[in-house]
Amino acid sequence: MCGIAGLIYKDKTPVKEETLRKMTDKMSHRGPDAEGFFVHENLGFGHRRLSIIDTGESANQPFHFNNKHVLVFNGVIYNYIELREELKEKGYLFNTNSDTEVLVASYDYWGEECVKKFNGMWAFAIFDSKNNKVFCSRDRFGIKPFYYFSNDNKFVFASEIKPILEIEKIEMVNIQILLQYLIVNLTGHFNETFFEGILKLPASHNLIYDLKTNEFRIYKYYDIEFKKEINKLNLEESIEIFEKKFEESIKIRLRSDVKIGSALSGGLDSPYVTTIANKIIDKQNNSGFTAVTVGSLDKKDDESKLAKLIAETIHVNHDIVVPKSDEFRHDLENVIFMHEEPFADLSVFMQNFLMKEANKLGVKVFLDGQGADEILLGYSRYTAAFLRNHDFISNLKFLKKVKSHYDISILEAGKIYFYFSSYFVRKFRLQRRGAILKNKYLEIINFSKLKKLTKSYKKIFELQKNEIFHFLLPDILRIEDKNSMLFSIESRLPFLDYTFVETVLSINNNYKIRDGWSKYILRRNLEKFLPDEITYNSRKIGLNPPVNHWWPRSEKILETINNSKIIQEISKKKYTFIADRDLEWRLYNIAVWEKLYNMKL
């Protein structure tokens, strides 16, 4: 896992290596093992390396291939061994054991179609000297970031926003994104950021930059395929294919030349990851595998006891960290700065402490459970979609057992249904939240994304695709990348193997929510390894932060919010009390982010 950067001057100004170094120095945490640069006239690449596969110097980047291509690459191609054998049969010779060399050789042979051959996570750029173009790509689900900026005289890209700010001083807020974050609570956006003019290459997209014309085009190369033959399987067959595909996903993600660890909560997702990984690693006699749990000062949300039970049951090395309030306060502004854009809530800090602990243990590759809720209908709001897609009798049976499904009452399920099924109800409620804004700002909020999401509740497959590509998952993955890379850790997500995602989204939805249980098909596989206390626990905790311990109400919070020039401009009045603590956090986050990045409206 690494940090990449690139710069093209459209007016033919030569790129200087020292300029590229300023960019890569801003993300040295992403690659502490090596740095490298490539300059060709008005084009330059920079790279910071975190060595995971083939840790030797021969795999350092920028990587040169046969005097034709130069590559900078952030990510990992899990199926590089299979692709290397395929390319050897076609006459290619390899000088390293790295996935980096396989990636660029794949481009040499298959051209832009090479990305369809990859199973992995990536953001890369290849200078194709023969065709005088730069080929850029981002993985199917956007696990690895690719930011870029373009104006009349330059095109800049990087793994983070800070390197771009070294080249182009941008202090203007993208007001639409900021308002949607504050009022609509949307933080995952298709291609925009909180910085006006800085964009993201969307997941599943390629960008082709023509060095002759200084024009670029972006196109989509992948969409999730619904497989009818899987949808027709019965329950037992579905359980079997789920297990088989997930084990394949874990196996391929254990390819590494460094220490591997795993997150472990008291829920379902990371325990399943840890259990299967530990089973496979045990067969390889690798005792260095460690599961890491972040506990909470708030006992009602503390998962460490359940996590300890899981670790003892499956006989895995286990480490627990419980972050104290002074640690949170000490890291507060640094975490906001390193994340570069405002985020939804304090759970980000829980994951941040988790990654910090993994780093202390020497873990460089970390398995995590992100993506499971999106593909397995794990959130309580999916009750609205389930009810809209079933008949009256099925819905009565569902509501009768909804308490064990999602740990909510029938009344709460009804409220969720009416709220998430109606765009007008949602918009009305959000506009009431927006009453804190001056009318000119409330009136410009664009609710079209919310309308699209609400409409997709009519069809569960479309809803899940929207969540994966456009709404919730992009923000989760942004947080995952920032938190892991801050501590030079490569985070791998087995639930987001694209073949596994296609399989699970195609499985009959009645096997995902069944007999009073959400994620039923996962529970059925997990019950082979863990006691019912874990497998059939209906309460969903997640990384809930101990808000009252870490962040008690204070005049200092309100003072920080009221001193923000951005908030002064968009708000009707000063704040003396904010009942909604999530809203209070978003306002506070904006205020601190504004100060750290000198942002303006």
pLDDT for res 390:
84
What does 516-581 look like in DSSP terms, one character per residue?
TEETHHHHHHHTTTS-HHHHT------S---HHHHS---HHHHHHHHT-HHHHHHBSS--S--S-H
Q: Are strands 2-9 and 43-49 parallel, antiparallel or unpaired?
A: antiparallel
pLDDT, averaged in runs of 10, over the chain (601 residues): 92 96 94 90 93 69 94 96 97 94 98 98 97 98 98 98 97 96 84 97 98 98 97 98 98 91 95 95 73 94 93 95 96 97 95 96 95 92 85 80 75 83 90 94 92 89 92 94 95 98 97 89 96 87 88 96 98 95 96 98 93
Distance CA 376, CA 44 (A): 43
Verify whether residue 114 is a known catalytic residue: no
Distance CA 550, CA 327 (A): 9
Could you say which of 2, 143, 316, 590 is catalytic? Answer: 2
What does 159-194 look like in DSSP terms, one character per residue?
SSHHHHHHHS---BB-HHHHHIIIII-----SSB-S
Angle between helices 410-421 and 392-400 (to 10 degrees): 130
pLDDT for res 398:
78
Distance CA 384, CA 438 (A): 33
Distance CA 559, CA 576 (A): 9
pLDDT for res 1:
61
With H, G, I as helix, E, B as strand and everything else as coil, classify residue 147.
Answer: strand
